[in-house]
Amino acid sequence: MNNNDKKRARYLAVSITFLIAAVILGLSAAGYKLKRLRTLNHQPALRDEAEEAEEEKVNIWNGIVVPDKGIDWAALKLQNADIFAWIYIPGTRVDYPVLRSAGDPYFYYSHAEEGESSENGAIFAGGDFRGFSLSNMVVYGRELSDGSRFSTLSYYEDADFFDRSPYIFVYTPLKTYIFEIFAAYRYGEVPLETEFGAKEDFTAYIESVFGQKDLNSNFRRDTKTALNEEARVLSCASLGGPEDIRYVVQAVLLNGGDQ
């Protein structure tokens, strides 16, 4: 190959190299523009999604976020007419319908929500439960090895958990009741009383609850001022047997006067 041929070969190689580089740069620029166009086209959709999220209903009462359970009451009543409420305690596994048998107050100790015989039972109200007018309303659930029903009430033995999980929500077809937990303790020292002849009796009962000496008990003493004669208390009691109460979590109703 003479010198002219060598020069032409080098020139051709350089030209091809530049051409390939130009093609690559062109494709990159086109890809960037396409990606940018797709991003710009997608932004309105992203904004629409954000706006829809902001428009979603958020239930807040006095700064307390109230979870929306989306309960289908008609379906629950078809399942079992004894279902009258739903209880939810954030941070625990308590998230169940609440039932009451007119005939046998302990029927749901050994029967599930559908009314069928069950070793796990269901969450149920005591025999003297008459709605949310009692000074101390008691609901029961079994303490089981699988952690279901009221087994996880014992989480409240941990002081940190007690502090960061202060609320119980009870849903009914007409209203959601918000309770603030003020006591959690192993049962034994103080009986679960439900009705009181005079306001002094209720005050004495509350004093006895706060006066327990068990080191595993936890109390929220700043709620004590709300526990006057007009207060409504919810007591959640786990059971080892039909009348064997193991652990109690008590809470005061915060929104009793709201409709």
30 and 71 within one domain: no
Q: Which of 116-125, 127-136, 239-248 has the lowest mean pLDDT?
A: 127-136
Mean pLDDT of 197-204: 89
The answer to whether residue 196 is domain-embedded is yes
Q: How far is CA 116 from the centre of its chain?
A: 27
Q: How far is CA 180 from the centre of its chain?
A: 14
132 and 21 within one domain: no
109 and 50 within one domain: no
Give pLDDT tens digits for 37-64: 344 344 444 344 434 434 445 599 999 9
109 and 34 within one domain: no
156 and 34 within one domain: no
Q: Which domain, by its residues, includes 96?
A: 60-253
Beta pairing partners, 65: 60
Give the position of tokens 């009462």: 61
Gap between the Cα atoms of 35 and 20, Å rounded? 23
Beta pairing partners, 143: 149
The answer to whether residue 259 is domain-embedded is no
Beta pairing partners, 168: 179
Contacts of 240 (CB under 8 A, 6+ apart): 142, 143, 246
Higher-pLDDT residue of 17, 81: 81
84 and 46 within one domain: no
Asked if 195 contacts 128 with a C-beta cutoff of 8 angstroms, the reply is: yes
The confidence score (pLDDT) of residue 1 equals 53
12 and 68 within one domain: no
Q: Which of 10-24, 193-207, 214-228, 233-247 has the lowest mean pLDDT?
A: 10-24
Asked if 129 contacts 226 with a C-beta cutoff of 8 angstroms, the reply is: no
144 and 50 within one domain: no
The answer to whether residue 83 is domain-embedded is yes
Judged against a pLDDT cut of 80, whether residue 258 lies above it is answered with: no
pTM: 0.77
Q: Which tokens belong to 10? A: 């080098």
Judged against a pLDDT cut of 70, whether residue 111 lies above it is answered with: yes
- Please give the tally of structural domains in the chain: 2
162 and 182 within one domain: yes
Q: Pick from 56, 83, 99: which residue ends a domain?
A: 56
